[in-house]
Chain A
Amino acid sequence: MSDSSTPGHAATSPRTGSSVLRQIVGGDVVISFLAVVIALAIGGVLIAFADEQVATTVSYVFARPSDFLAASWEAVSEAYKALFRGAVFDYEADTLNRKVRPLTESMTFAIPLILAGLGIAVGFRAGLFNIGAQGQIIVGGILAAYVGFAFDLPPVVHLLLCILGGALGGAFWGFIPGILKARTGANEVIVTIMLNWIAVSLIAYVLTLGRFNASGTGLRSPQIDSSAAYPPLIPDALFPGNTFRLHWGFVVAILATIFVWWLLDRSTIGFEIRAAGANPHAARTAGMSVGRITVLTMVIAGALAGLAATSQVLVGGGSLTAGVAATYGFDAITVALLGRSRPLGTFLAGLLFGAFQAGGTLMQSVTPTPIDIVFVVQSVIVLLIAAPPLVRAIFRLPDPDAPPRASRAATKEAAA
């Protein structure tokens, strides 16, 4: 895998440090693309081997290989066809609405992944391994939902306040590890993981309190006001009779992507973030306050994760449950890795994972393929992207981005 990225890349982005994180983040688009392709191929093998018909035919594969091949092809192609039908375009559906709906579903699923992924990406660029998106989503969700059902406000104002509430909740949960790291040097990985668990207990407790617990069950908050819900992105006038769930949260995701691009590539703060990420000592020598940058980065990362919560809570008839964050906080890490921590890359990776999720829903219901295959594919992607630099670091192999001759030797060893 690693060998495909080396030529050309070494020339364009010289490395200053050797931290594993920076290597993972600084990879190539080609690796991301190949990782997806290979993960899908491995997923295909697993689908075939999990299939009963294939298992039957493999026992006499030498006697009649055509059975085995046909059965394998059948299983894999049916599963991936269903994945495509559920994620992009359902050519077997009866109505145009139904045909187009899968793509909008993918986009809907992608919203929280993109937003939380951007939060993780900003952290990566500053050299911070922020594992806390899960907790930041939860706290953002609590605040967004509270503003959503507790206040009676005019439509647009209400929605904007809820979004602000979500961002503030996430920002607050990001601020804690930021300030602890800046003031005391506390490791942000450990602190954010612990804060995730605190958030899980916090939401379970909050759901049993006063206004959150109108149902008396302690499991679900009241529904948010309709004035606080994201309106549908594709109005009925534009596409009559549509049943799309896609809402304006997608626009928030696009705006957030543009904001992160501007922040990292065009603003002074972004320059400081990248400088601190590349070499904190040099940044400090250059007169930057690394502590301030750390806090600021974590606050921005938390706010983006908090926005991810709004796409879950602020939908028509939405309410707060303990499962508001699902596994988005952790999926977001994968999304940021696959997107190479670049805003556009993260956006596209989020779309891809949203498509996996939407497609997996249909795949598990029309074929015998379990939805776990989708997780396997996602996990293999992470492994392929994260492993080569990790493996090099563990075995103290030279970096393939070093001069060409060393590179060739290194990749041979790495592969062996």
Chain B
Amino acid sequence: MRVFKIAAVSAAAVMVLAACGEAPSEETETTPDAGSTAGGDGGTETGDSEGETAAAGGDNADFKACMVSDAGGFDDQSFNQGAYSGLLAAEKNLGITKAEAESNSDAEFGPNIDAMVQQDCDFVIGVGFLLEDAIQAAAEANPETTFGLLDSGFSDENFAPVELDNGKPILFNTSEAAFLAGYLAAGMTETDKVATYGGLPIPSVQIFMDGFSDGVNQYNEDNGTAVELLGWDKEAQNGSFANSFDDQSQGASLGEQFISQGADIIMPVAGPVGLGTASVAEGTDTKLIWVDSDGYVTTEYGDLILTSVLKDMGPAVEATIQESVEGSFTNEPYVGTLENGGVSLAPFYDFEDAVPQELKDKLAEYEEQIKSGELVIESPNAP
């Protein structure tokens, strides 16, 4: 019972310290407060968020978009967080209501999605490949609700792709931005050798490498050079892989290999594995091209990073929510491109002055060509 005494004493202390403020006048503060308590079933949460969204001027408060994370949680500084920022942006800009559930393990995907459906969510987004089965099962069981799945399509039990009437894959054609990165790398190399490697041989990784390869070839064609790409053969769809998304020692040994073969620009497509490559590149003349997030901002190796191939989860999520809000939901996959801003090339930061203006102009030109559809980056891994 001593516990209670201590708790009571400390609570009292907190009150004494914190409670010297004055009560707001009845009219200004308690009216919305009373409104929210009378608001009913949703309790305090809906009271708060509805108040906010109404202030933002949205009239879509009756549309509810919901999101379920994978085991990383919404604060993983990566994939989930990017997707969640899109949900928050949609709440702010479109005035929708939102709900979200974090999964702490694979076993919670199904129950969390079910909880969202039970809350009358209009649109439920699952973040990541691992939620595919759970989203698919929920979509089949709840034909009235629409679903989105980030970074993966739907497939049957034999991994053949299927389409769902109420399920929308949200995918990224990163080859477009990777093409620009490849062109840039070929223009910046001093050894005429650049390199790339992947985490696992899966389409969402290989598509970066395909675009990069095309960019290098385009530069060679334009300038009559012979810049060589190590680590990926687009024709054969064969190359170097770390076989991991978290083993940095693999990234270090692959990096050492490429550097000893003479490559001076490396693009690791393997998440944190790339940090291993950065550690061996430090102190040499080797530069890196980061992927997914802006490596200059998110890693400690900003001075090595020439640029990053960005895969922008937030705008993609917001765009698909907007589409649903406007009543034009289709099961057509959303594909992030240069055109719609779903993928892009990050600024050069420290290398801004090192990149010749001529090369910058050429990149801008190709970017326009890709956006207008004049130039199509072909890839067997394209969504």
Interface residues of A (CB under 8 A from B): 1, 38, 42, 45, 51-53, 58-64, 67, 70-71, 74-75, 78, 86, 92-93, 98, 105, 109, 112, 204, 208, 214-220, 222-223, 243, 245, 312, 317, 319, 321, 323-324, 326-327, 357-358, 361-362, 364-368, 370-371, 415
Which residues in B have their C-beta under 8 angstroms from that of A217? 129, 200, 202
Interchain CB contact under 8 A, A92 and B41: yes
Which residues in A have their C-beta under 8 angstroms from that of B48? 52-53, 368
Instruction: Name A63's closest neighbour in chain B (CB-CB).
Output: B23
Interchain CB contact under 8 A, A367 and B33: no
Interchain CB contact under 8 A, B15 and A98: no
Interchain CB contact under 8 A, A218 and B200: yes
Q: Are A326 and B41 CB-contacts (below 8 A) given A217-B200, A222-B157?
A: no
Q: Are A245 and B104 CB-contacts (below 8 A) given A38-B3, A53-B33, A366-B119?
A: no
Which residues in B have their C-beta under 8 angstroms from that of A365? 66, 99-101, 112, 115-116, 119
Interchain CB contact under 8 A, A323 and B106: yes
Instruction: Name B42's closest neighbour in chain A (CB-CB).
Output: A366
Interface residues of B in 94-111 (CB under 8 A from A): 99-102, 104-108, 110-111
Contact of B44 among A42, A75, A312, A321 (CB under 8 A): A75
Interchain CB contact under 8 A, B118 and A368: no
Q: Are A326 and B118 CB-contacts (below 8 A) given A105-B111, A216-B201, A220-B130?
A: no
Which residues in A have their C-beta under 8 angstroms from that of B42? 366
Q: Is B238 an interface residue (CB 8 A)?
A: no
Chain A to chain B: the 7 pairs with minimum beta-carbon distance, closest first: A326-B105, A323-B106, A63-B23, A59-B21, A78-B43, A61-B19, A60-B23
Which residues in B have their C-beta under 8 angstroms from that of A367? 43-45
Interchain CB contact under 8 A, B19 and A58: yes
Interface residues of B (CB under 8 A from A): 2-3, 7, 11, 14-15, 18-24, 30, 33, 36-37, 41-45, 48, 66, 71, 99-102, 104-108, 110-112, 115-116, 118-119, 129-130, 133, 137, 141, 155, 157-159, 200-202, 243-244
Contact of A362 among B22, B24, B45, B115 (CB under 8 A): B115
Which residues in A have their C-beta under 8 angstroms from that of B104? 326-327, 371
Contact of A218 among B45, B141, B243 (CB under 8 A): B243
Additional pairs, 13, CB under 8 Å, beyond known A109-B107, A367-B43? A42-B7, A52-B44, A58-B14, A62-B15, A67-B33, A92-B41, A218-B202, A218-B243, A220-B130, A223-B133, A364-B102, A365-B100, A365-B101
Interchain CB contact under 8 A, A364 and B201: no
Which residues in B have their C-beta under 8 angstroms from that of A219? 129-130, 200
Interchain CB contact under 8 A, B105 and A327: yes
Q: Are A60 and B19 CB-contacts (below 8 A) given A220-B130, A368-B44?
A: yes
Interchain CB contact under 8 A, A312 and B112: no
Nearest-Cβ distance from residue B337 to partner chain A, whole angstroms: 23
Q: Are A208 and B18 CB-contacts (below 8 A) given A215-B159, A219-B130, A371-B102?
A: no
Interchain CB contact under 8 A, B45 and A326: no
- Give complex CA distance A181, B236 in Å: 51
- Give complex CA distance A78, B42 in Å: 9
Interchain CB contact under 8 A, B101 and A60: no
- Give complex CA distance A102, B100 in Å: 19
Interchain CB contact under 8 A, B159 and A53: no
Instruction: Name B200's closest neighbour in chain A (CB-CB).
Output: A218
Nearest-Cβ distance from residue A275 to partner chain B, whole angstroms: 37
Instruction: Name A225's closest neighbour in chain B (CB-CB).
Output: B157
- Give complex CA distance A357, B20 in Å: 39
Which residues in B have their C-beta under 8 angstroms from that of A321? 106, 130
Q: Which of B22, B36, B100, B157 has the most CB of A within 10 A?
A: B157
Nearest-Cβ distance from residue B371 to partner chain A, whole angstroms: 31
Nearest-Cβ distance from residue A175 to partner chain B, whole angstroms: 26
Instruction: Name A218's closest neighbour in chain B (CB-CB).
Output: B200
Which residues in A have their C-beta under 8 angstroms from that of B133? 223, 317, 319
Interchain CB contact under 8 A, A317 and B44: no
- Give complex CA distance A92, B119 in Å: 11
Interchain CB contact under 8 A, A58 and B101: no
Which residues in A have their C-beta under 8 angstroms from that of B116? 365
Instruction: Name B3's closest neighbour in chain A (CB-CB).
Output: A38
Instruction: Name B137's closest neighbour in chain A (CB-CB).
Output: A317
Interchain CB contact under 8 A, A324 and B106: yes
- Give complex CA distance A45, B200 in Å: 46
Which residues in A have their C-beta under 8 angstroms from that of B105? 323, 326-327
Q: Are A312 and B107 CB-contacts (below 8 A) given A51-B44, A59-B21?
A: yes
Instruction: Name B34's closest neighbour in chain A (CB-CB).
Output: A70
Interchain CB contact under 8 A, B22 and A60: yes
Which residues in A have their C-beta under 8 angstroms from that of B30? 67
